[in-house]
Amino acid sequence: MKQLFLGSAAIIVATVGAQAADLPVKAKPVEYVKVCSLYGAGFWYVPGTDTCLKIGSYVRVQTSWDAEGGGIPTGMGTTGGQFTRSDTNEFNYRTRAALSVDLRTQTEYGTLRSYIEVGAEYTTATGSAADANAVFFDRGFIQFAGFTAGRIRSYFDINSFAPYGYSNNRVSGDTGATGIYGIAYTAQFGNGVTASLSIEDSGASAGGNNTGSAGGRGRFVADASTLGFFSPGAETVDNGGTNFPDVVGALRIDQAWGYAQVAAALHEATGAYFGTDTDLNGHPSDTTGWAVTGGFTLNDVLGLKGDQFGMQAAYSEGAAGYVTRATTPFNVWSANNNAGFAWLTDGVFDTGTGIELTTVWGINGFYQHFWDPKWRTSLYGGYVEVDYNGTATGILNSRLAGGVCATAVGATLTAVTPQAGNSCSPDSSWWQLGTRTQWNPHPDLDIGLDILWTHLNTAYKGPASIATSGARPACVGAGCVMDDQDVVSAYFRIQRNFLP
């Protein structure tokens, strides 16, 4: 009986064990994506980590009239200022798409953040320049413990017209969408008050022997002894290589009413060699330019919900790119015998002289009104003035080939020859005034029209012989004049935004 009982028990245990082995194993719980509410809408936790992620994008379709596809008014730093049937397109286009990735993690030193925005575009050109497909890289930076490093917006920038207009205006020195290389530290003092110190790229000079980043402030030091500085639609500079980066300091306050900021910058303005590029000829002494700015933006102006008003003023000596993005010459023709030009430099030198720094100052502002949640209208604009001191003016005039302004024999610049009655001044200025109305049938969809007027007060105003430019033949003799010019541009845009 004992053996029978033990045997039966063994059989029962084995049977139960076999049945248990056949039962399905309970699955591990699924780890669903969780919303991260620490940093605003659109963030979610990356599964298995404590890092929050947001993916954003936009697609833009823009049509421009009397402006290049990217928004620069025709002739304001474009090759299409001839306004001829062969050299100027009335309509130009841009299609742009971008993707952004924002990663944030809490640490014992605060938020660790990395951000990147890349995209691609197709842009048509205004004149002889080729249409372009391009891949672009606007932003890519790391923020940690008060430091920001990478491709950023300059800490000198205050107001950007991007939310209020579609044009690529020339009355602001804002680094814009392309950004700039920089390393900065920001100290927080509470109540929205911050102070920042930034080291930024000083290069990006068109035609110079150093280039820097695409969003750089520019280096525009001209050697008047050998270079064709006064070519219609072209400007040649002779920079020294980069010796040190720009230094930018800013003090800012952010409150519910808006924000205000003051900033200052030091900018390298260094020439290469006298004459041809060889150290046997010597070179001008190294020079440093500077710029200062102040500005503000007010929210809910006059108690109107969403309305904004802002202004900014900037002044520079030897640092023109901090006041304007007009980094290439103005070149506007209203007729073969009537044209306006403007050239921009950080400084000018001649054989045996130092660098004479150029003064550039400007003021700009905007106002945006919401008619209702789906309709808004903005008004924006500004003024920029370029002033060469007496010594710089004398250097440039001494190199003009003939004409009433020439002060030396053997001059080298032949593109512009002032005649009797000319101002004999390289100084110039320009106004821009625009208005944009935008419809938002959905919060993520922008549809709008922007109209921009640009007025150029030309350099060397008055009678002058003007060299050939594109389809424009040379104008020589009576009736040729350099005069103020106007350009009206229009922009139509459709843009879909997702978690910008």
For domain 27-498, give its CATH number from 2.40.160.10, 3.90.660.10, 3.90.1150.10, 3.20.20.140.
2.40.160.10
Dihedral of the CA atoms 401, 403, 404, 408 (nearest 10)? 20
pLDDT tens across 163-177, in order?
Answer: 999 999 999 999 888
Confidence of residue 26 (pLDDT cuts 50, 70, 90): low
pLDDT tens across 380-392, in order?
Answer: 999 999 999 999 9
Mean per-residue pLDDT, 71-78: 88
* Rounded Cα distance, 363 and 368, in Å: 18
**C-alpha angle with apex 149: 144 to 152, nearest 5 degrees?**
120
- Beta-carbon contacts of 101 under 8 Å, excluding residues fewer than 6 positions away, are 53, 54, 55, 115, 116
Would you state the pLDDT for residue 215? 60
User: Has residue 305 got a pLDDT over 90?
Assistant: yes
> What are the φ/ψ torsions at residue 302 (nearest 5 degrees)?
55, 25
Confidence of residue 86 (pLDDT cuts 50, 70, 90): confident
User: Has residue 198 got a pLDDT over 90?
Assistant: yes
Express as a percent the part of the chain with pLDDT over 70.
87
**Strand boundaries in 145-224, DSSP class E:** 147-152, 180-190, 193-200, 221-223
User: Has residue 445 got a pLDDT over 80?
Assistant: yes
pLDDT tens across 356-375, in order?
Answer: 999 999 999 999 999 999 99
- Beta-carbon contacts of 492 under 8 Å, excluding residues fewer than 6 positions away, are 62, 63, 448, 449, 450
Confidence of residue 133 (pLDDT cuts 50, 70, 90): confident
Express as a percent the part of the chain with pLDDT over 90.
62
Identify which has the larger pLDDT, 90 or 133: 90
pLDDT tens across 92-132, in order?
Answer: 999 999 999 999 999 999 999 999 999 999 988 765 555 67
Give the strand pairing for 338-342 and 481-482. Answer: parallel
User: Has residue 407 got a pLDDT over 80?
Assistant: no
Confidence of residue 13 (pLDDT cuts 50, 70, 90): very low
Would you state the pLDDT for residue 16? 47
> What are the φ/ψ torsions at residue 113 (nearest 5 degrees)?
-125, 140
Confidence of residue 205 (pLDDT cuts 50, 70, 90): very low
CB distance 356 to 395 below 8 Å: yes
Structure tokens belonging to residue 218: 């520019």
User: Has residue 485 got a pLDDT over 90?
Assistant: yes
Would you state the pLDDT for residue 491? 98
Mean per-residue pLDDT, 80-84: 86
Q: Of the ranges 15-24, 128-137, 317-326, which is most confident?
A: 317-326
Q: Where are the domains of the chain?
A: 27-498
Name the residue among 342, 317, 186, 312 with its Cα closest to residue 250: 186
Give the strand pairing for 288-299 and 258-268. Answer: antiparallel
pLDDT tens across 250-277, in order?
Answer: 999 999 999 999 999 999 998 888 887 7
Name the residue among 426, 422, 435 with its Cα closest to residue 459: 426
Mean per-residue pLDDT, 412-425: 80
Neighbours of 320 (CB within 10 A): 32
Identify which has the larger pLDDT, 10 or 189: 189
Side chain identity, residue 399: R
Would you state the pLDDT for residue 209? 47
> What are the φ/ψ torsions at residue 38 (nearest 5 degrees)?
-70, -30
As a whole number of Å, the end-to-end CA separation of the chain is: 83
DSSP 129: S
User: Has residue 6 got a pLDDT over 70?
Assistant: no
* Rounded Cα distance, 422 and 480, in Å: 11
- Beta-carbon contacts of 25 under 8 Å, excluding residues fewer than 6 positions away, are none
- Beta-carbon contacts of 126 under 8 Å, excluding residues fewer than 6 positions away, are 67, 68, 72, 74, 78, 79, 80, 81, 88, 89, 92
Largest distance between two CA atoms of the chain: 137
**Neighbouring C-alpha atoms within 13 Å toward the C-beta of 223:** 23
* Integer CA distances (angstroms), 154 to 159, 173, 176, 182, 212, in order: 11, 10, 9, 7, 14
Would you state the pLDDT for residue 239? 85
- Beta-carbon contacts of 238 under 8 Å, excluding residues fewer than 6 positions away, are 208, 209, 221, 222, 223, 227, 271, 272, 273, 277
Mean per-residue pLDDT, 322-330: 88
Q: Which residues are paired to 91 by β-bridges?
A: 65
* Integer CA distances (angstroms), 105 to 50, 99, 108, 239, in order: 6, 20, 10, 43
Mean per-residue pLDDT of the chain: 87
Would you state the pLDDT for residue 12? 45
CB distance 25 to 454 below 8 Å: no
pLDDT tens across 28-70, in order?
Answer: 555 568 999 999 999 999 998 999 999 999 999 999 999 988 8
Confidence of residue 81 (pLDDT cuts 50, 70, 90): confident
User: Has residue 5 got a pLDDT over 70?
Assistant: no
- Beta-carbon contacts of 306 under 8 Å, excluding residues fewer than 6 positions away, are 300, 368, 370, 376
Q: 3-class DSSP state for residue 55?
A: strand
DSSP 280: G
Q: Is 304 exposed, middle or buried (0-12, 13-18, 19+ CB in 10 A)?
A: exposed
42 sits in the region (left: phi over 0; alpha: psi -120 to 50; else beta) called: left
